[in-house]
Chain A
Amino acid sequence: GAVVSQHPSWVICKSGTSVKIECRSLDFQATTMFWYRQFPKQSLMLMATSNEGSKATYEQGVEKDKFLINHASLTLSTLTVTSAHPEDSSFYICSASQGHGEQFFGPGTRLTVL
């Protein structure tokens, strides 16, 4: 199956700093990438949908100025958590789709903000 990578796999940062998470589709071109957030013992919640070359579409309640998404190419999307705070600590998972209803998930990035 298609492979999606995320980097870093985990990150610890101080409150107030910004953190960038990369999502790459390694063996296919992804027309759309999705960013999900998962709090401990909870489900995955969609944060935003990202199409290459256009602005991301954010779900209701997700601050676009807080979570900056850039989809610069058909194989790379980045999520930047700006001015991170402890409440942003979570598991962030990206997925990539070729547009046929199937999506391939990355391994996730665990963010801890001290």
Chain B
Amino acid sequence: AQKVTQAQTEISVVEKEDVTLDCVYETRDTTYYLFWYKQPPSGELVFLIRRNSFDEQNEISGRYSWNFQKSTSSFNFTITASQVVDSAVYFCALSEVGTNAGKSTFGDGTTLTVKP
């Protein structure tokens, strides 16, 4: 069975600080996808990134960066120079491929609060 663990329930930082959100996953599949989503108070899930299990290259997109380490089954997310608008709940998710393509397991989420 798939499992995604986001050990940090809540994180509070002051604006302009860097913050890293941890994500550890468990799966027996060799092929899978990992995702990060942002959920602001409105509730709509905002897609941030998708990474397939064969692509361990780290990615940077503006103030966001992701570190995928298959050896430790981790897919951590860093926000550099955080802003108040970054305040939201962030979910890490693992998605199956093959016969159950798209079926996702979500972590419990990390609530990030960025204070001015």
Asked if A7 is at the interface of the complex by the 8 Å CB criterion, the answer is no
B95 touches which of A1, A102, A110 (Cβ 8 Å): A102
B31-70 vs A, Cβ < 8 Å mask (1 yes, 0 no): 0110001000001110100101000000000000000000
Asked if B91 is at the interface of the complex by the 8 Å CB criterion, the answer is yes
Asked if B100 is at the interface of the complex by the 8 Å CB criterion, the answer is yes
Asked if B104 is at the interface of the complex by the 8 Å CB criterion, the answer is yes
B43 touches which of A99, A100, A107 (Cβ 8 Å): A107
Chain A residues near B103 (CB, 8 Å)?
Answer: 34, 46, 49
Stretch of B11-19, B20-28, B75-83, B105-113 with 4 or more beta carbons under 8 angstroms from chain A: B105-113
In this complex, the interface size class of chain B, counting residues with CB under 8 Å from chain A, is 20 to 34
Asked if B97 is at the interface of the complex by the 8 Å CB criterion, the answer is yes
**Sampled A-B contacts (23; CB under 8 Å):** A34-B104, A42-B109, A43-B91, A43-B107, A43-B108, A43-B109, A44-B104, A45-B106, A46-B103, A46-B105, A49-B100, A49-B103, A95-B102, A99-B101, A99-B102, A100-B101, A101-B95, A103-B95, A105-B45, A107-B43, A107-B44, A108-B44, A108-B45
